[in-house]
Chains A and B, each alone.
Chain A
Amino acid sequence: RKEVEQDPGPFNVPEGATVAFNCTYSNSASQSFFWYRQDCRKEPKLLMSVYSSGNEDGRFTAQLNRASQYISLLIRDSKLSDSATYLCVVKYFSGGYNKLIFGAGTRLAVHP
């Protein structure tokens, strides 16, 4: 089983749609959670951290369910510019250092 699993997609949605991505992780000792965004042929960039109580940043809402080891990202009012791959990232502390594990990503394509 992969440490971080995501539906690879692609999710094809029209502009203005609401879309949700899910992610599960296997290491119950995971301590921090993030969503990164990666555009085609570009480097990953932090979209948002995910906090236990859930958090929102504009049109983006992230949720964490530690009991189910599940993270979600909701995008409202999708824009063409949201088209990208969204990477679920989990951090845990082991052997004296932090380690980030990246999911393989979920592709989103927003069309007019």
Chain B
Amino acid sequence: DTAVSQTPKYLVTQMGNDKSIKCEQNLGHDTMYWYKQDSKKFLKIMFSYNNKELIINETVPNRFSPKSPDKAHLNLHINSLELGDSAVYFCASSQDRGPGGQETQYFGPGTRLLVL
């Protein structure tokens, strides 16, 4: 069974469209994340939810809106897509172990978004 799954794996769309990416984890973790990996391979945190509550919201355009219907799901909706949104988006989950904890983040396979 896949621990962290994302759909779709590939997404090709036109500028200006609205799209969603879904993420599910079956590890029983309490924290989920969205990361963006750009063409320079730099992996950057976008959002983090702990028990369905938003705890990290980095400087991301408000066209990006995460939604966590329950602890096992964290979806990402993107409005008015722009060329610069083209990247690989990774979902991840972990069980928060507090300051100094050595928890592992488990990543989904990624969603490759190409905006034309």
Contact = CB atoms under 8 A, between A and B. Distances in A.
Chains A and B belong together in one complex? yes
Interface of A: 31-32, 34, 42-46, 49, 85, 87, 91, 93, 96-102, 104-105
Most buried by B among A44, A45, A93: A44
Interface string B21-46: 00000000000000100001111110
Classify chain B: how many residues form its interface, as a range. Answer: 20 to 34
A46 B104 CA distance: 7
B101 interface: yes
Interface of B: 35, 40-45, 48, 50, 55-56, 90, 96, 98-102, 104-105, 107-110
Give the dominant DSSP class at A's interface.
strand
Most buried by B among A96, A98, A100, A104: A98
A42 B55 contact: no
Given A42-B110, A98-B96, 20 more contacts: A31-B99, A32-B101, A43-B110, A45-B107, A46-B105, A87-B43, A93-B98, A93-B100, A96-B55, A97-B48, A97-B55, A98-B98, A98-B101, A99-B45, A99-B48, A100-B45, A102-B35, A102-B42, A102-B44, A104-B42
A32 B107 contact: no
